[in-house]
Amino acid sequence: MPAFAKHAVTALAARDTFTPRDTLATLTGAVTNLTSNLLPDFLTNNPLPQGFPWGSATADNTNYYDTWPDTGVTRYYTWSIAKGSCSPDGVELDCVLVNNQFPGPLVEANWGDMIEIQVTNNLDEGTSIHFHGFLQKNSQWMDGVPGIQQCPIAPGKTFTYRTRAELYGSAWYHSHYDAQSANGLYGPVVVYGPKNAQYDADLGPVLLGDWVHTDYHDLVDELMAPYPNAKIPPSQNILINGLNPYYGADAPTAKFQVNSGKKYRLRLISAACSATVKFTIDNHSFTVIANDFVPVNPYQTDHITLSVGQRSDVIVNFNQDPSTAVWMRTFIAPCSEAEGQTEAKAAVYYENADTNSLPVSSPGANAYNTYCGNDDLSQTTPYYPITPPNPSFENVIPISAQVNGTHLLWYMAGRTFRTNYNDPMLLEAKLGNLDFPEIQNVHNYGDNSSIQFVIENTGSMPHPMHLHGHNMFVLAEGECTDNNFVFGRSDGVAAADLNNTSKAYGNCWDGHVTNANNPQRRDVQMLLPGHYIVIQWLQDNPGVWPLHCHLTWHAASGFVWSILERPDDIANMPIPSVMADTCRDWASWTGANVVDQIDDGL
């Protein structure tokens, strides 16, 4: 039996009154045999006013950025982060595991529950956990980015994350320490909440993650080799719920059981390291009901595009003969760096299908679609409408790859980034110290009510842009190919100095807004090569928040913009003393151990 199979069936360790589901039974439907475990509409040990844990709140009557339930319930989990052997595709690797599992345990909560996760670091280096897409509005210090909100958890030490499920839907968690997630430190999150479309059953998370066969430290060494020898590590395989035999290796295939005539919710989550992926099911189409943590007005498509960190919740009508078996497919789009196997398949069996045989269905017309952009902005209108206000601050931020004298790094408006694990920015801001080193790329937006960025990418690589602590309005996108115009002054008189952030950069945006009264909102938006995106967010969450490309190797190479939001409110923030204690533990450990931080640390 492959090592992965031995780890996969370990039950979720939890301290709670509800019965935890076996992680892989929930996620894959099977490792070596088929099951049909489904997720509930909600966890039922909450008080149930009006029949739901969230009371009378619905998807269309509650602004979830301002109002969320307080259920009085806390979901407790206990995790050990440690190295362990795994072989999700049949190739053995020393992985970074949660409770000896890959993918990590499923985290479940109802909307408004508190989530408390006790994390013990049994690695020989630091670690941290980021709950992707969580707003952290009353727990800004729990965002899990080392050097920004916290010091890393030192080896042998325990740190407890505690946050409220302020939004609902599908998400994931991952390490934000260096590139640990590339070797497995991630897992799914489901927050049950009101429905914005009807379906019969919830098939649960479908994690789509690319995979590498090399220790991430060695890959970072390749990435940070002196110019011109730097190499962006390519994806070598793609997994569905942690499974996909590598070129016929002796490893299991993910399997799902469905019933004919039923509509199922699938929670598609990109836990990729760097790949943009396409998702299809042969001979079936999708109704999209959410993008990231934002329920949307349902729309139809036959394929889903997810860049790193993005999620789409879809409903699939399994309306074929009960003896049907079909392939579920995910494909690494050619805009991604890949060398190896670029397609994963999982078997979907109707109730009377022969589960001892693999499907023989053919891919649909868009199974190998090469377009790397997200669905058209005109399609993706939030179910709860919000009209953005006029921004109080605007900026144009061009992206460039530059050599700093020895290494090739990413720059945003002429600035690159490196974190200081020992001195988190949020803790400094709490003390009133707002004069940060230039390399931390901090920008103080004061008490501005709303910020608007035009981010311009005239280069050849895609960039999934992720903002912590907020859902972004995505106002517009379009072509932006004239490098001389973008990096020259907007009047075209002189070339811009990329190290002078006061320069007026050329603005590719023509001022149009798609769905001005209710534009798309999400926490990751794909920025295509030769394109711009226009994003805006409300400054309603004081803190220090990274805006970064979510490709692991780009984020590691300086592609981070640090947003200092409402520093006067940070001064009054009730940051608990455990944050300082964690820094003392980290300082003690680093006083006796050298931290191998050759990249920017994120």
- Does residue 409 sit in the same domain as residue 344? no
CA angle 77, 78, 83 (to 5 degrees): 130
Residue 195 lies in a domain: yes
Return the HEC string of 433-493: CCCCCHHHCEEECCCCCEEEEEEEECCCCCEEEEECCCCEEEEEEEECCCHHHHHEECCCC
Backbone angles phi, psi at 396, to 5 degrees: -110, 125
Predicted confidence at residue 14, as pLDDT, reads 31
What's the CA gap between 579 and 512, in Å, rounded?
44
What's the CA gap between 294 and 59, in Å, rounded?
10
- Does residue 319 sit in the same domain as residue 468? no
Residue 140 lies in a domain: no
pLDDT band at 499, cuts 50/70/90? very low
What's the CA gap between 255 and 460, in Å, rounded?
37
- Does residue 335 sit in the same domain as residue 409? no
Mean pLDDT of 1-27: 31
Residue 591 lies in a domain: no
What's the CA gap between 14 and 392, in Å, rounded?
45
What's the pLDDT tens digit per position in 258-316?
999 999 999 999 999 999 999 999 999 999 999 999 999 999 999 999 999 999 999 99
- Does residue 71 sit in the same domain as residue 217? yes
Residue 503 lies in a domain: yes
Domain limits at 511?
393-573
Contact criterion met (CB below 8 Å) for 218 and 290: no
- Does residue 185 sit in the same domain as residue 315? yes
User: Is the pTM here over 0.75, yes or no?
Assistant: yes
What's the pLDDT tens digit per position in 156-206?
999 999 999 999 999 999 999 999 999 999 999 999 999 999 999 999 999
- Does residue 215 sit in the same domain as residue 332? yes
Residue 602 lies in a domain: no
- Does residue 416 sit in the same domain as residue 272? no
- Does residue 305 sit in the same domain as residue 401? no
- Does residue 397 sit in the same domain as residue 518? yes
What's the CA gap between 444 and 467, in Å, rounded?
16
- Does residue 61 sit in the same domain as residue 187? yes
Residue 334 lies in a domain: yes
Quickly tell me which residue has 């916290």 as its tokens.
Answer: 150
Mean pLDDT of 402-419: 94
Residue 582 lies in a domain: no
Here the CATH number for the domain that contains residue 463 is: 2.60.40.420
Give the count of domains, the chain.
2
Predicted confidence at residue 489, as pLDDT, reads 53
- Does residue 101 sit in the same domain as residue 217? yes
Residue 428 lies in a domain: yes
Residue ending a domain, choose from 349, 374, 403: 349
- Does residue 179 sit in the same domain as residue 270? yes
